[in-house]
Amino acid sequence: MSPQASDTPIRYGVVGVGMMGVEHIQNILALDDCVVTAVADPHSSSLDSAQQAVGAETPLAKFSTVEELIASGLCDALVIASPNFTHHDILIPAIESGLHLLIEKPLCTTLDDCREITDLVATRPAEQVIWMGLEYRYMPPLQRLMAEIAAGTTGDVKMVAIREHRFPFLVKVDNWNRFSKNTGGTLVEKCCHFFDLMIQATASRPVRVMASGSQDVNHLDEVYKGERSDILDNAYVIVEFENGSRGMLDLCMFAEASKNEREIVVVGDKGKLEALDTESIVRIGQRTDDIWSGVNVVTEETVADSSIKHQGLHHGASYLEHVDFADAIRSGRPADVTVLDGLWSAAVGFAAHRSLETGLPVVLDDLPQMAGIGFGQ
């Protein structure tokens, strides 16, 4: 497989064209020299939404399965945006097809499946770009926060605190996201983003996880095909890292009456960083020699990226992710965000759910699926 020629459009297929699939289509269409040529989804209404997204008169091949889409030969790259519980079975033929892939989070809904996919990807040629969709990394305030950490603003990172107080889960096709067996659980489905950010900020391997949470408010009376929704709507999670740093997640999904949906705080021995990504604000604090002087050296900046052509659902992060994915395809370079990143971020979520069930801390090395898994790029 050779890098894509710069004068040849990259032809994309999107597998799963519900809300996130259509979001990916809109981002791809905002890129230079990229086209969406095919989609696959078993639901006709979703296929109609995809056609509407590309334009009523624009040719778009439509299939019901990923196998049919691959066999068509119409695509150079696939975006996997199908429901979480379908990822494993879709990813195997997609990976083996040799096409470049961008995989929406989470990687899979069980740790066994995540490990199987990670092992399969390890057998593939380096020229096949397989990218894990953890787009929160690309939110401009969070990119600035990570750049400040890398520049030494915080010194040695000791604590990472992430708070997301937001609205309940949205309605999805067939209400698949109302059940933990379909999503992997809230702390995997939603919160793999936050565990990925913690891992980035600490630059260290997560080793132990403790969690407390439950389903207290949302979807309590919802029953589908005789099953009551069981999706967790609030939790605290503490993550301990190999280098001694700690992370804490404060999640509430019945807190839409909030000014700041998300706040990310990183504290080191030299300073403190805060990112309010929904308001595009970053605060940079530096400790002084005289800690009792009462003088706080804190600056506040609004952070934006003028290169973003589509804001979408994630403040332009998905667009920037697609820019890098397309560049990797054209240049032949490896993915910046890999399935190993997807495995580690999901593993912390799976460990958190196990901690909820047992009331005990979970050591990641005790999980057999993590045996022999490397850390870092």
Residue 16 half-sphere exposure toward CB, CA atoms < 13 A: 25
Mean pLDDT of the chain: 95
Matching residue, tokens 């993550």: 239
- For 256-277, how does the pLDDT look when each residue is reduced to its tens digit (9 = 90+)? 999 889 999 999 999 999 999 8
Identify the pLDDT of residue 295. Answer: 65
Domain 10-136+321-338 CATH superfamily? NAD(P)-binding Rossmann-like Domain (3.40.50.720)
Cα separations (Å) of 11 from 4, 8, 31, 33, 36? 10, 9, 12, 9, 6
Identify the pLDDT of residue 327. Answer: 97
Coil/strand/helix, residue 165: strand
Burial class (CB in 10 A: 0-12, 13-18, 19+), 270: middle
Coil/strand/helix, residue 238: strand
Predicted confidence (pLDDT) at residue 377 exceeds the cutoff of 70: no
Predicted confidence (pLDDT) at residue 66 exceeds the cutoff of 70: yes
CATH topology agreement for domains 10-136+321-338 and 137-308+340-370: no
Q: What is the pTM of this model?
A: 0.96
Residue 150's CB: how many other CB atoms inside 10 A?
11
Parallel, antiparallel or unpaired: strands 61-63 and 100-104: unpaired
Q: What residue segments make up the domains of the chain, in order of their start?
A: 10-136+321-338, 137-308+340-370
- For 123-162, how does the pLDDT look when each residue is reduced to its tens digit (9 = 90+)? 999 999 999 999 999 999 999 999 999 999 999 999 999 9
Identify the pLDDT of residue 147. Answer: 98
Class of domain 137-308+340-370: alpha beta
Identify the pLDDT of residue 374. Answer: 85
| Confidence class for position 236, pLDDT limits 50, 70, 90 | very high
- For 164-204, how does the pLDDT look when each residue is reduced to its tens digit (9 = 90+)? 999 999 999 999 999 999 999 999 999 999 999 999 999 99
Parallel, antiparallel or unpaired: strands 223-224 and 281-286: unpaired
